[in-house]
Amino acid sequence: MSLFKKILKKGKKQTNTLKLQESLRIERLEVAAEELMIKINSLEEREDALYKKELEQLEEKCFLLSKKMDSLNETLEKVE
């Protein structure tokens, strides 16, 4: 085999190796991106649950304040 063919063959092997390495890097990045999306979705779900719970607590407080206002209005009417 001539020197040129040996160099060409070695160059092709190196090119293939680089392509494989690049493919692996791309796959790793894709997996990392998918994992991040799963984490983001999980955080959004937890955040939604927290907001829902907080909203329920605020609604309950509003209901209790409404009852107190009704009671105060009744007392005020009796006083008048």
pLDDT tens sequence across 21-61: 999 999 999 999 999 999 999 999 999 989 999 999 999 99
Q: Is the pLDDT of residue 78 over 90?
A: no
Q: Is the pLDDT of residue 4 over 80?
A: no
pLDDT tier, 15 (very low <50, low <70, confident <90, very high otherwise): confident
Longest dimension (CA), the chain: 115
- How far does CA 43 lie from the centroid of its chain? 5
- How far does CA 41 lie from the centroid of its chain? 4
For the entire predicted model, the pTM comes to 0.55
Q: What is the pLDDT of residue 74?
A: 87
Residue with more model confidence, 9 or 36? 36
Alpha-carbon span 75 to 67, nearest angstrom: 12
